[in-house]
Amino acid sequence: MSEGTGRYNFLEVEEKWRKVWETDKSFEPSADRSLPKYYVLEMFPYPSGRIHMGHVRNYTLGDVVARYRRARGFNVLHPMGWDSFGLPAENAAIENKVHPAKWTRENIAAMKAQLMTLGLSLDWSREISTCEPDYYKHEQKMFTDFMRAGLAYRKESWVNWDPVENTVLANEQVIDGRGWRSGALVEKRKLSQWFLKITAFADELLEAIESLERWPDKVRTMQTNWINRSEGAHVDFSLVGRDDSLRVFTTRPDTLYGASFCALAANHPLIAEQAENNPDLAEFVSECNRLGTSEEVIEKAEKKGFDTGLKVAHPLDPSWELPVYAANFVLMEYGTGAVFGCPAHDQRDLEFARKYGLPVTPVVLPKGEDPQAFDIVNEAYVGDGTIFNSGFLDGLGVDEAKSKVIARLGELGTGEGTVTYRLRDWGVSRQRYWGCPVPVIHCADCGAVPVPDADLPVALPDDVDFDQPGNPLDRHPTWKHTTCPNCGKDAVRETDTFDTFFESSWYFARFCDANNPDEAFSRDAVDYWLPVDQYVGGIEHAVLHLLYSRFFVRALSQCGYMNLDEPFDGLFTQGMVCHETYRSEDGKWLSPVDIDRRGADSAFLLGTDKPVKIGRSEKMSKSRKNVVDPENIVQTYGADTARLFMLSDSPPDRDLEWTESGVEGAWRFLNKVWRQVQDAIGAGLPDRNTPLPASFSGPADALRRAAHKALDGATGDLERFHFNRAVARIRELSNAIGEFSPSDDSDRWAYREAVEHLVQLLGPMTPHLAEELWRALSNDTLVARSTWPVADPGLVVDDMVTLAVQVNGKMRAKVEVERDASEENARSAALSHENVQRAMEGKEPRKIIVVPNRIVNIVV
């Protein structure tokens, strides 16, 4: 404890207790599988080299849960690791000539040291790093098992190709048709790639969303939309003058009589066939390919088509012929890559029809419209209505017409009902070095052969250069040359690596048995620990990471690794950490460390009188320079202050505004608590085991009530992730303690009780200070290992309650009555109050509503 200064010496104290926890192995879970378990996990970080405030918030929230659950008697697993494959390491290699492995390992060491200073209750004995062969060899095994189970397959696929980065981009990495990093115009290219069959679980993934009760609705909606199940039909249009037919997918078979053309994706096989003898069509196809595969870009682009000259016959009326177009808004990956256009009832089709002079025939009549007068001008009608202009479907509703037309198509053999999804199979191949090698050998005779288990891992070679663009694995002189495990002939290794979402799709399972050298994890370990009880992370992973992980537990279950429905039982998505932005007069962004804040709304460049413009609070980002380095905060105020501030004002799911004054407020509070406990000790607290006194003075009773109410309320708040409210209650207790001065032994007994509650409540939030004070109160245990106190219900509810009295709904008085007083007593207490009498102006009450322990409303 610090001497002389009268202030809390956090530097000494925080380091001391971290060492104690480490020696004590306080955060390693018990191996006893009969204990109730609780698995708390925060999304593991990419090792960029330094932690940022977003990490501090994320890991503080998780740590509060972990420490609280431990105190509630759970066997808690709270691990940490590194999502350590990925592009930045390769970029560093290119820019700074440092090997990705070296760069990554150094970053991990630096970030780990920073994380250590936060006092997180992590079990570091389970630390994992996904770029190490002892991690990725297991996922290579999984992949070969997926191949054998038919869950991984290879196909030619159109991809977004970034010509500068020389790699495939995901749709979300394409912004306005350009690569998100390089800014280069993205091209469509056809590559042979590996896919994981996530669509095999589309229905299951969709239906199970309903069971994820402890997930935010927002995330559940986003996943539902992402999977986007749609019921519709496959319809076959026979090609005029040929023997084959064109299969289209539609969600609106009821509008088939409104068809005026068919449109095909530019890379539909039929278009490829036609383009061979049609250079103009071929040019159109390559123009479409330049658009990329992003749906958003495609949707925003001008709708263009190219008449192939082919005709198809209408499936319900063979004498009716429709033209066939290649179109830039139809995707080969969705449905069948072909649609029929019904301009009257689809906006895209309408724009297309207007452009190419195609007929627009309305077939759905909105309620109340006259069939003779109803006309489509600039807006397609997509709503409900009655079918008309449609032969045997006339007069039916949309849904009835759908089933009837599907039945008819079935009879005619020209179509059938079907279900499609927007969700597509997950392409996992990346043309990159710093990733997990795809464990496959290509043999001229045997094809793609999985690497046998005994040969795993397929480790990345260390001797690579990054002097040229493209994949260093591919141009490595020896690495890819090997022999076929089947026939023994010369063969080559796959040189692609996995998408880094692969590693993060199963890391939560590895943590259950992180040091298992033989298997990814033992069945026993995952059976006990999974699912994760509380997952905490950013909303940015609402779809991909979380959906892939949900897919993985299903795929792994199918392959016998585990038996699990869902990986994450509870999910919490925290808000961003924001800060004011500053700009100099010439418009340059300025960092908060260079700002001299004077008063509520003026600021100057530090050490000068140059005014600075204060901008609105935005997410901390390097580009706006509004970042505050956690390391500085921890050095200046200590980890507990940073943690407390993270928890104090804003609800965890909302954005948090980082303010210097708020941090100082948290720091002041910690010092106040420290002083309060010193004062209490100075007052001569009774020994810990002193029995409960028979009676208490009025102030002591009030203090005890404050302590038990704070405990009861804060416990409920912690259960419900209302950490900001829990902090408020703790401050209330501190305020009550500050007003108390003991005068006898029973007072001092109550004093100790209140102070101990305060310290224990702070345990999950400011653990270092809590340990220091707990020890100062002559406890020989650790708060980290202590049991959460239980509130005495008799002290949580008061004997007397204040009733609000309203007259005609307006608050007029407050009256004190006994808790659970009879309606009669409440009524007469209310009526006898002088303010109430005055407000009633001598009138007779017409009706009196009494809500026990809350309110009396007198209607006159």
Chain residues that interact with RNA, rule: CB under 7 A = 7, 217-218, 221-222, 225-226, 295-296, 299, 422, 543, 599-600, 648-651, 654-657, 659, 661-662, 664-665, 668-669, 671-672, 722, 724-725, 727-728, 731-732, 735, 738-739, 802, 804, 806, 808-814, 835, 838-839, 847, 849, 851, 854-855, 857, 859
Shortest separation between residue 380's beta carbon and RNA, angstroms: 11
For 126, the token pair is 């389970």
Shortest separation between residue 2's beta carbon and RNA, angstroms: 13
489 is in an annotated binding site: no
287 versus 739: smaller Cβ distance to RNA:
739
Strands 37-42 and 534-538: parallel
30 versus 808: smaller Cβ distance to RNA:
808
7 versus 475: smaller Cβ distance to RNA:
7
What DSSP designation does 265 have?
A: E
User: H-helix or E-strand containing 806?
Assistant: strand 800-807
112 versus 731: smaller Cβ distance to RNA:
731
d(CA 19, CA 117): 11
Shortest separation between residue 841's beta carbon and RNA, angstroms: 11
594 versus 649: smaller Cβ distance to RNA:
649
Shortest separation between residue 215's beta carbon and RNA, angstroms: 14
Half-sphere exposure of 401 (CA within 13 A, CB side): 25
Task: Confirm if 430 and 437 have CB atoms less than 8 A apart.
Answer: no
Closest of 348, 344, 350 to residue 366, by C-alpha: 344
Shortest separation between residue 684's beta carbon and RNA, angstroms: 21
d(CA 530, CA 523): 10
189 versus 422: smaller Cβ distance to RNA:
422
Shortest separation between residue 661's beta carbon and RNA, angstroms: 3
What DSSP designation does 847 have?
A: E
In this structure, the number of other CB atoms found within 10 A of the CB of residue 184 comes to 15
Shortest separation between residue 383's beta carbon and RNA, angstroms: 11
C-alpha distances in angstroms, 533 versus 65, 127, 528, 530, 696?
10, 19, 12, 8, 42
Shortest separation between residue 667's beta carbon and RNA, angstroms: 8
Burial 130-166 (b: 16+ CB within 10 A, else e): bbbeebbbbbbbbbbbbbeeebbebeebbbbbbeebe
Q: What is the crossing angle of helices 723-738 and 745-762, to 10°?
A: 160
Q: Name, in order, each residue with C-beta under 8 angstroms of 17's C-beta and a sequence gap of 6 or more.
A: 119, 767, 768, 771, 772
712 versus 747: smaller Cβ distance to RNA:
712
Express the helix, strand and coil content of the chain in percent, nearest 5 each.
40, 20, 40
The torsion of the CA quartet 303, 309, 315, 320, rounded to 10 degrees, works out to 110
367 versus 810: smaller Cβ distance to RNA:
810
What DSSP designation does 793 have?
A: H
d(CA 338, CA 330): 7
428 versus 663: smaller Cβ distance to RNA:
663
745 versus 816: smaller Cβ distance to RNA:
816
240 versus 859: smaller Cβ distance to RNA:
859
24 versus 664: smaller Cβ distance to RNA:
664
Task: Confirm if 618 and 53 have CB atoms less than 8 A apart.
Answer: no
For 61, the token pair is 């929230």
Shortest separation between residue 330's beta carbon and RNA, angstroms: 12
Shortest separation between residue 725's beta carbon and RNA, angstroms: 5
Closest of 574, 587, 520 to residue 552, by C-alpha: 520
d(CA 223, CA 489): 46
d(CA 335, CA 642): 51
d(CA 690, CA 697): 17
- Whether the upstream peptide bond of residue 531 has omega within 30° of 0, thus cis, is yes
In this structure, the number of other CB atoms found within 10 A of the CB of residue 355 comes to 12
Task: Confirm if 377 and 360 have CB atoms less than 8 A apart.
Answer: no
Shortest separation between residue 257's beta carbon and RNA, angstroms: 25
339 versus 656: smaller Cβ distance to RNA:
656
For 85, the token pair is 């494959």
Task: Confirm if 429 and 439 have CB atoms less than 8 A apart.
Answer: no
Closest of 558, 625, 562 to residue 590, by C-alpha: 625
Shortest separation between residue 551's beta carbon and RNA, angstroms: 17
Phi, psi of 98 (to 5 degrees): -115, 140
Shortest separation between residue 222's beta carbon and RNA, angstroms: 4
213 versus 217: smaller Cβ distance to RNA:
217
Burial 755-768 (b: 16+ CB within 10 A, else e): bbbbbbbbbbbbbb
247 versus 422: smaller Cβ distance to RNA:
422
Task: Confirm if 634 and 118 have CB atoms less than 8 A apart.
Answer: yes
Task: Confirm if 668 and 590 have CB atoms less than 8 A apart.
Answer: no
Task: Confirm if 776 and 1 have CB atoms less than 8 A apart.
Answer: yes
Shortest separation between residue 761's beta carbon and RNA, angstroms: 13
Shortest separation between residue 498's beta carbon and RNA, angstroms: 22
What DSSP designation does 781 have?
A: S
As annotated, the binding site for ATP includes 622
- Going by the annotation, the residues of the binding site are 622
